[in-house]
Structure 1
Amino acid sequence: MQNKIKRPLLWSTAIFFMMAFSFPAADHFYAQSMPDNNFDQCSIENTTFKAGEEVVYKLYYNWGFMWVAAGEATFRVKESGNQFHYIVDGRTYKSYDWAFKVRDKIESYVDKTSLLPTRSIRDISEGKYQLYENVTFDQENNSAKYVRGKTKEKTWKENHEVSECIHDLLSAMYFARNINFSTMPKQQSFPVKIFLDREEYPIKVKSNGKVAEKKIKGMGTYNTVELSLSLIAGEVFKEGDEMKIWVSDDDNRVPLMIETPIAVGSVMVVLKSYKGLKYPFTAKVD
């Protein structure tokens, strides 16, 4: 079965693991049906990150033989009472703004016990496209109160029924980091349900097993676990394209790099810097 996202956004194809800001592109992503990994989709103990973690990623485009640095996204984890507060600030570099200017901020509040979201905020500015949305999740009653508009000052309200244990894109990323990929058999997948743009999407990501001594552009060599997400052909992606994702093979399970082919060239998202990790970064080889 193919699960499509109607608006989206080349950069938010990568958001599931790293990026939380994106270009509005007429394309979609999905994951092929595969056996589910056995884990509780409604609650997971956080063993991989802590408040104070800050991770920065750099996005590159490749046309021909040249990689062009286009922008950065900074992921931060804070505490807010009995919740974690995830914050992502994404922007293109000034040298790239002439082509397509991005200034995005995405936030998610999640329950510390279950890591399920209670609130999701997106404040998007991408070229001429603007969006503000604020979603409050009631996980007990499977509902979402939705405030949406072009700006924060011009919004409307809606109520939506949602499935149990629903996520937003950002909460799904941190939830997934607590899944032990290194013990999953090759070709096995894990599912997460995501609410985005007033619809929900079941996403599955496949494990391709361990990859030792993977070179990460500008960051050295790491022991990793490789994951993949199948992509739908269209204006951006070609038939059979897959996004590949490498996460650190240690207790932090930090996303290190994404590579995604597109119709013209390819996209790469790479770890640039990090601080405040919960554990020593033992996946780093040199």
Structure 2
Amino acid sequence: MKRILFIFSSLLIMGVAICQTTVDNYRFRYGAIIGATATITHKKSVENGKMLTTTTLDGRTRGLADALFRVHDIFSSTYDEQFLPVSAYRDIHEGKTYTKREDLSFDRSAGTVTSSLSGTEHAAPKLRDMVSALMYVANVDYSNVEKGSRTKYYVFHEEEQFPIEVKYNGIEDVKMNKKTYRCYSISPLVDPGNLLEKKESLIVYVDIATHKIVGAKLHFKLAGYFRLEIVE
């Protein structure tokens, strides 16, 4: 459950079209209530002849949610053209006192990942941090992928490696902010537990034309839908 909530909160600040430098804005709402806003910045650079992209996600609570919970989280990943990360970090500020910083470095030749909190360990093949994993999933060409198919990815988050299975739901027209987006619909699958409606409770909408995440929704059993939407 904690992992699926992280994925959804990451999507609050998740735009996926790669340009030289881009900044996109998002909002998270429950009904008419705006609970959080976020920005994402993509910057390209060349290091040792290799093209790299750094994606920085900056999200925070707003209004009543900020007064009650106060969250300001930053996630950043630097990765290559295959969305394989070189380095990443997360900088967490939640409530009045809780803070946490973790830096990651990936050594592909040695097959290891090093965390500033847990040290060095063997890395699963094509291991990614959460940001680069989400970027990769959103940039997949689903045009020849069969509806209902599932793919497994390995990620490193909170000092742990684990698999995430992603289901492709097909193509859907999504209306948002007086616009209609033609989207791929995808769902990271998790145990719903007592809170979520089903394993596919998180649905992510990726604009087919731009490969940018334009929206998402998370279905709770009792509370209904929490939604993410791009602000354009």
Which TM-score applies when normalising by structure 1?
Answer: 0.71
C-alpha distance in structure 2 between counterparts of 1:109 and 1:226, whole Å: 26
Q: Indicate whether 1:133 and 2:81 are aligned.
A: no
Question: Does the Cα contact within 8 Å between 2:19 and 2:42 map onto a contact in 1?
Answer: yes
Question: Does the Cα contact within 8 Å between 1:139 and 1:164 map onto a contact in 2?
Answer: no
Structure-2 change in CA distance of 1:243 and 1:199 (3 Å): same
Residue from 213, 218, 225 that aligns with 1:255 = 213
- Which residue of structure 1 aligns with residue 40 of structure 2? 75
SS in 2 for 1:53: strand
One-letter amino acid of the structure 1 residue matched with residue 213 of structure 2: P
- Which residue of structure 2 aligns with residue 19 of structure 1? 12
- The structure where helix makes up a greater share of residues is 2
Q: Indicate whether 1:234 and 2:227 are aligned.
A: no
- The structure where strand makes up a greater share of residues is 2
SS in 2 for 1:182: helix
- Which residue of structure 2 aligns with residue 31 of structure 1? none
- Which residue of structure 2 aligns with residue 121 of structure 1? 89
Q: Which 5+ residue runs of structure 2 have no aligned equivalent?
A: none
One-letter amino acid of the structure 2 residue matched with residue 85 of structure 1: T
- Which residue of structure 2 aligns with residue 89 of structure 1? 58
- Which residue of structure 1 aligns with residue 175 of structure 2? 215
SS in 2 for 1:71: strand
Instruction: Give 1:36-47 correspondences, 5 Å limit.
Output: none
Question: Does the Cα contact within 8 Å between 1:256 and 1:271 map onto a contact in 2?
Answer: yes
CA deviations on 1:17-72 (whole Å, 9 max, x unpaired) are x2369xxxxxxxxxxxxxxxxxxxxxxxxx952221222211112xxxx4311011
Number of aligned residue pairs: 225
Instruction: Give 1:2-17 correspondences, 5 Å limit.
Output: 7-8=2-3, 10=5, 12-14=6-8
Question: Does the Cα contact within 8 Å between 1:109 and 1:119 map onto a contact in 2?
Answer: yes
C-alpha distance in structure 1 between counterparts of 2:44 and 2:217, whole Å: 31
- Which residue of structure 2 aligns with residue 104 of structure 1? 73
Q: Give how far 1:243 is off.
A: 1.2
Which TM-score applies when normalising by structure 2?
Answer: 0.87
CA deviations on 1:147-177 (whole Å, 9 max, x unpaired) are 13xxxxxxxx511211121100101122223
C-alpha distance in structure 2 between counterparts of 1:15 and 1:160, whole Å: 27
Q: Give how far 1:123 is off.
A: 0.3
Question: Does the Cα contact within 8 Å between 2:44 and 2:52 map onto a contact in 1?
Answer: yes
Q: Which 5+ residue runs of structure 1 have no aligned equivalent?
A: 22-46, 149-156, 274-286
- Which residue of structure 2 aligns with residue 246 of structure 1? 205
